[in-house]
Structure 1
Amino acid sequence: MKQRIYPKFENIYKGNLHTHTTRSDGPYELNKILKAYKDMGYQFLCISDHRKYYVSSIKDNEEFIVLDGMEGEVGDSCYHIHAIADYSVEVKERFEAEGIWPVTEQDPQETIDEYVRRGNICIINHPRWTKMEYEELLEPEGYLGIEVYNNNCDRESLTGYATDYWDYLLRRGKKVYGFASDDAHAEDLHLNVREYFGGWICVSAEGLSQKNIVNSLKTGDFYASNGPEILAIDREENTISIQTSPVKSIAFVAWPEHGLNVYDKFGKDIREASFTIPKGTGYIRIEITDQYGKKAWSNPIFL
């Protein structure tokens, strides 16, 4: 029997979880940022200003919503931990609108625990840019995933890609998801090459609301991209198959057995591929690359 891995729901929503405004160190006012993403066809956005919590009035809408959240920092450490409100859980106390998260002496685990206690999911941002050691991501518990691509870091210092961190964690049994984002800080909305609109996620959700989007993030029902599209992933017995937009290659990354890289030997675009799961495989994730070198990443399929 064929099992649909992605998407679980008919509705697919494109969004960015990480961008900044003049509320912290971004160059543009909030309303200009919201309009820019909406005009570019995004359906959701999270305002993740540094240590300053944003509470949205647009929680449920047919066209465009804004998720509550902030990008917190753990003292002078390399941990930048993203908090996004999860309204599927009941908590006694949430972060207040415009509330400032102080630089404290809490360690990363205490910070994650505090964010979750106040009704948030947690993502660890740009591990390569912050020069994290692999083990520093292995130690904390309770976070949902990491940024495997950060457009600002890629533009600034070629530190945007972090799939090696991701595979390190997955090989050691840590079930974390992969996110792509802008993390835009530059005043370059008018330029062709910019920090905006360069990394995003596409979420399969029951409807366009904060609660639905975050519920799908928690189950991994999304993919990350800086270019190509993942249209469908299916499993039938021991075979994984995928359909994509036109790409140069489709790589099935597996562990501990080797995966498979599928491409056309004449260099033409491909749009689908299949992989037979080797016995003993722990996880498979799929990474697609188009002719321009742009990529998209499925979430791991845990076996």
Structure 2
Amino acid sequence: MDTLKISVLAILILFFSCSKGKPSVEKKWYKGNLHTHSYWSDGDEFPEVIMHWYKSNGYQFVALTDHNTLAKGDKWITVPEDSIYQNAFKNYLKTYGTNWVNYKIDSLNRIQVKLKTYNQYKTKFEENNKFLILQAEEITDSYQGKPIHINATNIEHKINPQGGHSVLNVMQNNLDAVAKQKEELGKPIIAHINHANFGYAIGLEDMIALKNEQFFEVYNGHPAVNNSGNDEYISTELMWDYINIAYIENNKPLMYGLATDDSHHYHRKGSTWSNAGRGWIMVQTDILSPKSLINAMETGQFYASTGVELKDLSFKNNTLSVEVKADKNTTYKIAFIGCKKGQVEPEELFSVEGNKASFVLTKNLLYARCKITSSKLHKNPIEDLLFENAWTQPYTYTE
């Protein structure tokens, strides 16, 4: 009996020793874009070409978010007669070959091409823990002519626009539809509000009144979405601050900010075209999977960028610390922005010129976030947003 007890004790000691000695999985930063269009709606390129561009340019995950559709079933497109698109098709055919590309010439001598579905094109590009394609949709709705668009990421079934009797009601109905699919499928799905200032359709009051929403585009790379606002309407960044001031006061979860491309145009480039590579998010998590990415995003473990890359980002013991992966001959302004309790306006709380800074949150602050502005010009800017930036998520004081 004593021998048995000793054996069991030895096994337990060995088990717990091995458990304690097992190294934890190191979290990595994964770069991705959650707003992308293709020939499946109003983009001007094939999904394969788009995925190749993102994968070749250092992205680890992408979501095609075509309007009110998923890349399922049969869809044929007619290649536009413009030589740009004709030559692009020739390159597409040359790259992927006749065994992959299904096309025909119609009675009017036009080229028609059958688009590849999500399940087809992802097999060419996905690699375990290297590149992931998320199935998604831009739910495209409106109210009295005002565009109201919401992206749903990692869905399985198309979600039809829900409509409603006001801007707020339309938004909430569509968000509820996304939440319903998430609950029914029991899988991680997120929705985010797109380009609030597009057509100046979505007001601050509408955003503040939303229920159960955590994500919002603080930057969208389409040239027509008015990120900067104007004399009458505030910028999306300032809107983000006002939303969080109201959310904290009303005990709602924080609103997190995304940067996205909203890319449509892959052949003509410049400030009047909606191109790829303008804005993205960097998510910190252990593995590259839909569940891991979404779980990290839901806890704010990501930042948004239009070019600035962070070497380190942490929030420990109420201290928000950032370090920029600095480029040569480039300067950086690191500004901590937040709002004091009892106040209703955001302000710059502290700033430094350099590539590293920390800020201690105190009890008298509602929240604080960090914005890094580079002296480096954006390669393909829109509006008056000429320099590369990065935005951390907001943080609140914890006891």
What is the TM-score when the length of structure 2 is the normalising length? Answer: 0.64
Consecutive unaligned residues of structure 2, counting only runs of 5 or more, are 1-24, 73-117, 183-188, 229-234, 342-346, 377-386
Consecutive unaligned residues of structure 1, counting only runs of 5 or more, are 1-7, 87-93, 265-269
Question: Higher mean Cα deviation, 218-227 or 253-262?
Answer: 253-262
The corresponding residue for 1:285 is 369
Alignment of 1:112-261 (within 5 A): 112-119=175-182, 120-131=189-200, 132-152=202-222, 155-156=223-224, 158-159=226-227, 162-173=236-247, 174=252, 175-188=254-267, 195-246=275-326, 247-256=331-340, 258-261=347-350
Question: Higher mean Cα deviation, 116-125 or 272-281?
Answer: 272-281
The CA distance in 2 between the partners of 1:103 and 1:199, in whole Å, is: 29
**Aligned CA distance change for structure 1 residues 176 and 9 (closer, same or farther; 3 Å):** farther
1:248 Cα deviation from its structure 2 partner: 1.8
1:188 Cα deviation from its structure 2 partner: 3.1
Q: Does the alignment pair 1:11 with 2:105?
A: no
Letter in 1 for 2:303: Y
C-alpha contact (below 8 Å) 1:72/1:80 kept by paired residues: yes
Q: Does the alignment pair 1:66 with 2:133?
A: yes
1:273 Cα deviation from its structure 2 partner: 0.9
Q: For 1:299, what is the secondary structure of its paired residue? A: coil
**Aligned CA distance change for structure 1 residues 205 and 278 (closer, same or farther; 3 Å):** closer
Greater relative contact order (CA < 8 Å, ≥ 6 in sequence): 1
CA RMSD between the two structures: 2.5
The number of residues matched between the two structures is 279
Greater gyration radius: 2
C-alpha contact (below 8 Å) 2:30/2:288 kept by paired residues: yes
The CA distance in 2 between the partners of 1:239 and 1:212, in whole Å, is: 25
C-alpha contact (below 8 Å) 1:51/1:72 kept by paired residues: yes
* Greater percentage in helix: 2
Deviations 1:109-160 (A, max 9, x none): 12111111102311000011241211111112122210000111xx346536
The CA distance in 2 between the partners of 1:60 and 1:209, in whole Å, is: 11
The corresponding residue for 1:90 is none
The CA distance in 1 between the partners of 2:70 and 2:241, in whole Å, is: 31
Q: For 2:243, what is the secondary structure of its paired residue? A: helix
The CA distance in 1 between the partners of 2:26 and 2:150, in whole Å, is: 29
